[in-house]
Structure 1
Amino acid sequence: MSIWNEIKASYREGNILTKLIYVNVGLFVVIKLLQLMLLLFGAGSTFANVVVSWLSVPSNPLSLLLRPWTLLTYMFLHYDFFHLLFNVLYLYWFGRLFVDLIDGGKLLTIYILGGIGGALVFLLAFNFLPAFYPGGGGSILLGASASVMAILFAVARVNPNFVVYVFLIGPVKLKYLALVAFLIDLVSIPGMANAGGHLAHIGGALVGLYYGWKLSEGKIKGNYFDRLASQVGGLFRKRSHMQVTYRRPLSDMEYNAQKIRRQKELDRILEKIKNSGYDSLSKEEKETLFKASKEN
């Protein structure tokens, strides 16, 4: 099998986290190859820069009206290698936690919602805060950072005391890791070097915090963008009449995370019964309670 076929197979068979990483890396490679080709043929990198600007969120509202798709495309776009590297690493680490501790079926949803939240805070700040030139003076926003912050804060809100091991520091609870990340962005805004990016991070963090809060209360059942992506992907998937079921063994981390999720859901249902009575439960909640009673 060729390398290209291996990459396609890896993308096709990978989960949504794998696909998000591939899209971020793939778009970066395409932009850089385009820039290289133009440079070698003496055309400079002007066209590549135009492509980047047409995929990034502009701070000017009038420009945004002409390029509304940038609210979605910017969160997959990177121009600097180290910007891409750290965002992909953070996406992998926090995305794995989200998949293991919450629900992999909602990862794309929080990724996109966090990105949109970051873009909105960026636009509001650059058009209404006196510290910034009206319209941001032609500033643009790009990168997955706001989406990654949303993922981190959603996990930290649902499982605040979950311990992760940070290099050179040791065990740290997720709530403290999220708090430090938020404070770093907050104190970095006055530097103005990347104020728009730090503001977008804060927007993503707030979306993640709200999303995690609603998840904890059991008020979010849907995974809108994930279902849409699955349906669109199904249009291009080759149908097979043979059904094969394969389930890999759970790792200790995955088993414990699954156990924590079940217990949290059970506690929420019992609390609901206490406050509103058994009849207030939905059909799914009654089934969950019945299964738990059989396991015990």
Structure 2
Amino acid sequence: MDILSDIKQTFKDGSVLTRLIYINLGVFLLVKLVGVFFILANQPFSLTYWLSLPSGLDELIRRPYTLITYMFLHEGFIHILFNLLGLYWFGKLFLYYFEGDKLLSVYLFGGIAGGVLYMISYSIFPVFASVNGLLLGASASVIAILVAVAVYEPNREISLMFIGNVALKYVAGFYVLLSILSISSSNPGGNIAHIGGAVWGWFYIYQLRRGNDIGRGLIKFLNKIPDMFSRKSRMKVTYKQPPRDDYEYNRQKNVQQEEINRILDKIAKSGYESLNKEEKELLFKQGKK
């Protein structure tokens, strides 16, 4: 199997986190290769410009897709390296507590929230009145993931080089405070976007604890996309991640068993006919094991 086939298979079988990393890397390589082509052709064209999020509303109207594309776009190697390291570390922590579809929704909506706050700030604050900025990078999405898992499990400790074990709430608080203080630096737009991502991460967990998964609608829409291109296949796209180790395997088994117990209790109280379609399918699949 050649390299391209290996990458394709890894992307197909990998978790949402793996796919997000691959997409960021793929966009980075594509932009760089296109840039080399146009430089050699001596043509003034920048794909980075067309995929970055503009600060002005008039530009956004002409390029509305940039509210999504900017969060997968990176300018240099150091830029993408640190963002992907953060995405990997905090994404792994997030997936320890939640499913992959929730990671995807936090990544996308965190990036959108960061982009929206960035545009609002450039529209209302006088200091940006004469500035035509461009926003790019996954950092708002990464901070949204970090803050989400820190709000959900604030006292969970992670090991930091040269420092030791530090609770997640302090790590998230440090990044948020650093972003606020760095607005006066050379990258005010990026730091404002970080704050937007952080607010979304907090808001997502706040709503989730109240029983409202505000990213569910997005996942349902993404699940329907394959059906728009193929009438033959009605298979639903899911974003489940296979168990990463024995602890995660046992955690998933416990969650599944709790759901089975809930369904059995429901049958005992209200009868089999009280089950909905999803509950009947889960019970049927469990009976075949």
* TM band (smaller chain): 0.7 to 0.9
Q: Is the 8 A contact 1:102 1:261 kept in 2?
A: no
Alignment of 1:134-283 (within 5 A): 134=130, 137-191=131-185, 193-220=186-213, 223-233=216-226, 235=229, 251-254=245-248
Secondary structure at the residue paired with 1:85?
helix
Q: Percent identity?
A: 43
- Alignment correspondent of 1:268: none
Name the SS for the 1:63 alignment partner: helix
Q: Which amino acid aligns with 2:155?
A: N
Instruction: Tell me the CA shift for residue 227 of structure 1.
Output: 3.4
Residue 25 of structure 2 aligns with which residue? 25
1: CA distance, partners of 2:129 / 2:96: 43
How many aligned positions are there? 260
Asked if 1 retains the 8 angstrom alpha-carbon contact of 2:28 and 2:73, the reply is: yes
Picking from 116, 122, 140, the partner of 1:120 is: 116
Please list the CA deviations of residues 205-225 of structure 1 after superposition, one character each: whole Å capped at 9, or x if unmatched.
Answer: 000011011122322275333
CA contact (8 A) 1:109 1:224 kept: no
What is the CA-CA distance between 1:252 and the residue it aligns to?
A: 4.8
Q: Which runs of 5+ in 2 are unaligned?
A: 236-240, 260-274, 280-289
C-alpha distance in 2 between matches for 1:8 and 1:91: 21
Q: For residue 248 of structure 1, report the CA deviation from its aligned partner.
A: 6.3
Q: Could you say if the C-alpha distance between residues 178 and 257 of structure 1 is closer, same or farther in structure 2, counting changes exceeding 3 Å?
A: farther
Q: What's the CA shift for 1:54?
A: 1.5
User: Secondary structure at the residue paired with 2:75?
Assistant: coil
CA distance in 1, matches of 2:189, 2:88: 24
Q: Distance in 1 between the 2:254 and 2:219 partners? A: 23
On the 8 A contact 1:189/1:195 being kept in 2, the answer is yes
1:77 aligns with 2:73: yes
Q: Deviations over 1:61-111 (max 9, x none)?
A: 111111111111111111111111111111111111111112222111111
Partner amino acid, structure 2, of 1:219: N
Question: What's the secondary structure of 2:17's corresponding residue?
Answer: helix
Residues 56 and 73 in structure 1, CA contact (< 8 A), matched pair in contact too: yes
Cα RMSD (Å): 3.3
- Distance in 2 of aligned mates of 1:256 and 1:160: 23
1:57/1:119 contact within 8 Å kept: yes
Residue type at the aligned position of 2:187: N
Aligned partners of 1:94 and 1:151 also within 8 Å: yes
CA shift at 1:226, angstroms?
3.1
CA distance 1:224–1:15, shift in 2 (3 Å): farther
Q: CA 1:105–1:115 in 2, change beyond 3 Å: closer, same or farther?
A: same
The change in CA–CA distance for 1:130 and 1:240 in structure 2 (over 3 A counts) is closer
**How big is the shift at 1:133?**
2.0
